[in-house]
Each structure stands twice: as structure tokens, then as C-alpha cells.
Chain A
Amino acid sequence: MFYYVDVSGANRQLDSFEELAMPLFDPLYNFAHWLTQNREEAEDLVQETFAKALKGFSSFQLGTNFRAWMYRILRNTFLTSRTGLKATMTVPLEGEEEERLEPAERDTPETILFARSSHETLQKAIDELPVHFREILLLCEVEEMSYQEISETLSVPIGTVMSRLSRARQSLRNRLRPDFQAAGTRAIAKRTDVKGTDHGL
């Protein structure tokens, strides 16, 4: 997909957009790829985001957060895409807005083992998170956004940012527990056995 952008008009403004937006190109692409889990879709998403942002740049309010604005456009574009709609359809409808933060579960020495687990295991665990957990975790930990910025990006109150982030972390910790991984490995092995049997037949 290719988006033509009409760049006739005020060059100063366009220079400003390019200067502001291009430093965000790599992190936006990384975020888009995590959301879509597909290179081509990530490229389409980033390209559409830049096209929309350029078109709406005149309405961008000075004094507000440009980074949060760009991420919001990307996320909203993703949510209306086919992959985004499919991903959000699997999100359980939970009353997280009213939810209080639960006491953090104590990490036992076993759960601390994640430090020894491989880079790929962690990436796989993040990949498997529901999209609303994955995105908030990445915005907080990778993009190092403040709760205020995340709140602006996701268009949710700060209380929701805190509770969702807490549950995203808990979900990730659960996925990194050795027993969880062992169960996953056993399940895969079992499926492989079944497949092997079917194939044999």
C-alpha cells in the first residue's frame, strides 16, 4: 500500500513535521511490529500513521505532547485495521476502570529465575500477551513513557494505566514461571506426539 501525500503549501510547517516525526520513526516501527506481529503490516501501519499525522499536523496543538500524539494515531489506526479488530475481539470485557490495584504477588526465588531465562523466552512471553497488555508494557518499559503520556496515548485515565500495567506485569511474570513454561513445553510435546501419530497413520 502506498499513500500519496500532497506537500504543496507551507514548507516551514512540513520541515517542522519532518524534524519532529523522523526521530520517532524507529520506535514507532518497533511498536507497530509488536502490535501487528508482521513486518508488512507494520510497514503499512507506520506509513499510514505518518500520512495521517502529516495531514492533521496543522491541527496538532502546540504545547501538547507530540510523541503521545503520534503513538495515539498509530494505535488508533491499528485498532481499526483487520489485525487490530481481530486482536481486540479477544480482549475480555473487564471493569478495570473501577478495579483497585491488587497487592503484588511476592516473587519467590523460583520466579526470579526469569533472569536466567533467555532473551527469546521473554520476547515470546511478551508476544503472547493480549494486545492491551502488550502495548502498555512496551510504552512503559521500552518507550519509558510516564503514566501521564501513556494516559494520553491510550486515551484512558491514569488509574486505568496503573491497574492495566499492574495486570500486564503479573500476566508476564506468570508466563515466565518455570512451571508455566514447563506446562507449555509439555503441551507442545503432546501436540507433536499426536501429530506424529496422525502422520504415521
Chain B
Amino acid sequence: MVCESWNTKFDTYLDGEVPQEEMRSFHAHLHNCPSCASDALSRVQLKRAIQVAGKRFSPSTSFRQRVQNTIAPKRRRSSRLTWAFAAAAVAILVVATLSSGYLGNRSGRDQVFSEIADLHVATLASSSPVDVISTDRHTVKPWFQGRIPFAFNLPELQNTDFSLMGGRMTYLEQAPGAHLIYDVRKHHISVFVFQERSLPAKLSDSSLKPGKLSFNMETWNQGGLRYFVIGDASAADINRLVNLLKGAA
């Protein structure tokens, strides 16, 4: 009977798509049930075999080049036009730098903060805000392996008011990053982690309220990674979570 209760979830379990608690129970069951363990092994073998057999076709170099040529921006212009554009660009750059360089940078920075706020709100409004649902940092962190091009550490939350709800992949200006959601006294806080060099605007470490929204946000750079912490929790709570993250990084 115990085996039957797992029967419908065998593949879902092997795909890593069942909640963490069920995952542990399933894992424990496999340790004690040779029949299910054998079944799981054959399914894993089939998964691996499909993965290898499925990578079957490769495009030719000439076809790749042809497509790349159609999507690559045209970078060559006639030399006369190039000089004209270059002169105009230099003139514009000088004027822009002298008159509104500061404003331009602030505008880029504000845009990033607005997008962070949008990502936070849109994710919480979603019916499935996280792709990996777990309160265990040792489950959430490994989930990002192979999904984002960098690694980061998460803090131990024992004896704190914070709890981890899970995580998902996210994009900011086409840069991939990690989005983690924490809970503190029924307030949800988003933590975003990106590679600093992949972000479009130069940001300084700061605490602020983005736009006219009633969120508290903190951002800082640590080890080449840019962290954003945003939520409607109090500034003190946000700051406590920031310190925990800084301690873990």
C-alpha cells in the first residue's frame, strides 16, 4: 500500500518537482524498499539514456553563420558616414557629460530600481511565485546550479524571525539572476542576486524607497555580486536580513 501511494509520483520525484518534504519521505522510502529502488533506478537510466540519445542533431557551420548574419547588427558603414556619426556622437557626448551626466546615471539607476520593484510585485502576485519551494537553504542554493552563471551563499536562519520560502530564476535587463523570497511576520521580502558586471547601470550601495512605492529597499555589492533586498517589511527588518546575507556571503 505504501508503494502504491508513491506510484503516481515516481517520475515527478525523479524530475525534482515534488515539494521538499515529500522528497525526503520518498527518499527514505526508497532506502527501505528494494522494489521501488529498482524501479527508480530503471527510470533514472531511461532518463539518462533519453538525454544522451536526444542530443542527436547539430547544425552545420554554414547554416549557423547564415542565421547569425541575419540577426547581427550591421556594424559597417561607409567611412564618410562613420566619420560623420563619430563627430556627432563625440559632440553629443561632450554636451551630455557636461550638462546631464549625473542625471543620466540617476535615470539608469532609477530604472533598475523600478524594475526590481516590478519583479517583486509581479512575482508575489503570481500563482506560483517560486520554482523551488523549500525552507532549506541547502536545497534552494543547489537548485540554481547550472541555471545561473554564478554561485552565492545563503544565511542560516535558525533563531531569527526570517524563514526562506524558496526561489526562482529571474532576469533584469536580460541578465540572469536569482530571486529568493523570505518571510518575516507575514511580510514577504524579495532578495535578488545578479552579477554586477551584467547590470546596465552603475549602482552605489544604498537604502532607499524606490519611486512612490511604499517598499523599503537596500542594495550593495559584495564579491562581484549585486544584491537587492526589497519588501514592505519595516526598514529594521530589511536591514536585519541584509546583515544576515552579508554575513553569509
Contacts and interface: CB of A to CB of B under 8 A. Distances in A.
A1 to B, nearest CB: 11
Contacts of B232: none
Given A25-B64, A63-B170, A104-B11, A137 B71 contact: no
A127 B114 CA distance: 47
B195 to A, nearest CB: 14
B105 interface: no
A104 B7 contact: yes
A103 interface: yes
Given A18-B73, A126-B50, A26 B58 contact: yes
A72 to B, nearest CB: 16
Contact of A165 (B11, B38, B122, B169): B11
A50 B53 contact: no
Nearest to A114: B46
B8 interface: yes
Interface residues of A, number: 67
Contacts of A177: none
Given A104-B10, A122-B50, A142-B51, A62 B171 contact: yes
> What range describes how many residues of B lie at the interface?
35 or more
A25 B59 contact: yes
Given A18-B73, A166-B11, A29 B57 contact: yes
A126 B50 CA distance: 8
Interface in A1-39: 2-5, 7-8, 11, 14-22, 25-26, 29-30, 33-34, 39
A107 interface: yes
23 contacts: A2-B66, A14-B73, A18-B72, A25-B59, A25-B64, A26-B59, A30-B58, A39-B57, A62-B172, A62-B174, A63-B170, A65-B169, A103-B7, A104-B39, A106-B35, A111-B42, A115-B49, A122-B50, A123-B53, A126-B54, A137-B54, A144-B146, A166-B11
